[in-house]
Amino acid sequence: MKSCLPRVAAGIIVACLGQGALAQDATIKIGINQPLTGVVAASGNMVTAGAKIAAEDINANGGILGKKIQLVIEDNKSNPTEAASVAEKLITSDKVSALVGAWSSTYTLAVMPKLMEYKVPMIVETSSADKITSSGNPYIFRISPTNSTEAKAFTRFVEPLGIKKADFLVVNNDWGLGAAAEFSKMLKEKGATVNRSLQMDAAAQDLSAQLSSIKSSDSDTLFITTSVEQMTLLMKQAQGLGIKRKIVTTGGTLPDQLIEQAGSAANDSYHDAMFAPWFPDTAGDPDIAKKFIATWTKAGLKPAGMPEGARGYDAVRILAKAIEKAGAADPEKIRAALWQVSYAGLTGNIKFEKVGPEGKESGQSPASTHLVKIEDGKVSLVSK
């Protein structure tokens, strides 16, 4: 084995460092905890692709504090137990300064005790269950709307869409159940009736029983909350059963993927979007949106994934601003700095407000949503 001899230059002795220590000194590590395999892998991979674009752009422009960002990417396998294990590995073994994760509300809730234990902040880029920010975890900073804030933002569309009676079909997890509860509450406050609220397992492919039940109701609207893969199956099966009513999806789905995979079954459906790449002027910063769209396209990534990728992009960008504000890649300093930064990004104007028990507040950025519609295989803007 070669010995490592110190060199003397200009009176300065440069000690020989191991490669791991050198890499740690030369970069600022951010952990990415996403579902790269499993039932929602398509979404996790798109979020990760957006995070990579942000890191590459930051690094190409000098990095942060004179260092490059290094994304340490781990697969939580669409599983909450794995998500918690991944978070612990990123913090204890990889020594990341902050995290982005973990797509599903169920996965994020599983990760949260690890953030408290090790005192490392995480940007929540997608999860929408209200209890993520209301339970008292000061290391949580969410840029995506909660179920309740998304429902509140949707209030302005109830009358224009003529929603009088509604059914719900949602994935049976914290995200889906929370969406059904909050949107039901909002509709009732607007004088609408909620008929049936049904659930489905995340991996279920035969949804004929739920859809047959919904077909027998007299509702004019069906609200769906689930992954885009399951949503595709739903729309095809609903068309096959001859179900004719307005379909509204919540949680920021992927209309382009529905057009590609569900075909005519997706026509006349409405979608609550957090980033509308078809209409970049609706973004918090239209110039950044246009640049992101161009980079995404040049990379050969599927256009359908841009709404998901936007969340990964904004998450890394807001963390970079906090690290720069903190003046060091120190988790506690980054946590404190996140309260002081703002960013006009792809998904809106990000600025954290305090939510939860006093002294243990989580950060929540205000909701920014747009309603789009699929018409004749194309996406149209209903309203900003």
pLDDT in tens, 22-43: 344 689 999 999 999 998 999 9
Question: How confident is the model over 202-260, as pLDDT tens digits?
Answer: 999 999 999 999 999 999 999 999 998 999 999 999 999 999 999 999 988 889 999 99
Q: Could you give the CA distance from residue 247 to residue 107 in angstroms, rounded to a whole number? A: 27
Which element (helix H / strand E) includes 304? none
Q: Which two tokens stand for residue 15?
A: 């000690």
Question: How confident is the model over 248-260, as pLDDT tens digits?
Answer: 999 888 899 999 9
Q: Could you give the CA distance from residue 235 to residue 263 in angstroms, rounded to a whole number? A: 9
Helices (H), 267-375: 286-298, 306-326, 331-338
Q: Half-sphere exposure of residue 201, counting CA atoms within 13 Å on the CB side?
A: 4
Q: How many Cβ atoms sit within 10 Å of the Cβ of residue 193?
A: 13
Q: Could you give the CA distance from residue 40 to residue 308 in angstroms, rounded to a whole number? A: 12
The pTM assigned to this predicted structure is: 0.85
What is the per-residue pLDDT for 11? 32
Q: Which two tokens stand for residue 89?
A: 């590995």
The residue type found at 107 is Y
Q: Half-sphere exposure of residue 200, counting CA atoms within 13 Å on the CB side?
A: 23
Q: 287 CB contacts (<8 Å, ≥6 apart)?
A: none
Q: Could you give the CA distance from residue 323 to residue 333 in angstroms, rounded to a whole number? A: 8
What is the per-residue pLDDT for 254? 86
What is the per-residue pLDDT for 368? 82
Q: Could you give the CA distance from residue 240 to residue 224 in angstroms, rounded to a whole number? A: 17
What is the per-residue pLDDT for 213? 96
Low pLDDT (below 70) residues in the chain? 1-25, 384
Q: Is 176 left (phi over 0), alpha (psi -120 to 50) or beta?
A: alpha
The 3 state secondary structure assigned to the chain is CCCCCCEEECCEEECCCCHHHHHHHHEEEEEEEECCCCCCHHHHHHHHHHHHHHHHHHHHCCCECCEEEEEEEEECCCCHHHHHHHHHHHHHCCCCCEEEECCCHHHHHHHHHHHHHHCCCEEECCCCCCHHHHCCCCCEEECCCCHHHHHHHHHHHHCCCCCCEEEEEEECCHHHHHHHHHHHHHHHHCCCEEEEEEEECCCCCCCHHHHHHHHCCCCCEEEEECCHHHHHHHHHHHHHCCCCCEEEECCCCCHHHHHHHHHHHHCCEEEEECCCCCCHHHCCCHHHHHHHHHHHHHCCCCHHHHHHHHHHHHHHHHHHHHHHHHCCCCHHHHHHHHCCCEEECCCCEEECEEECCCCCCEEECCCCCEEEEEECCEEEEEEC
Max CA pair span of the chain: 85
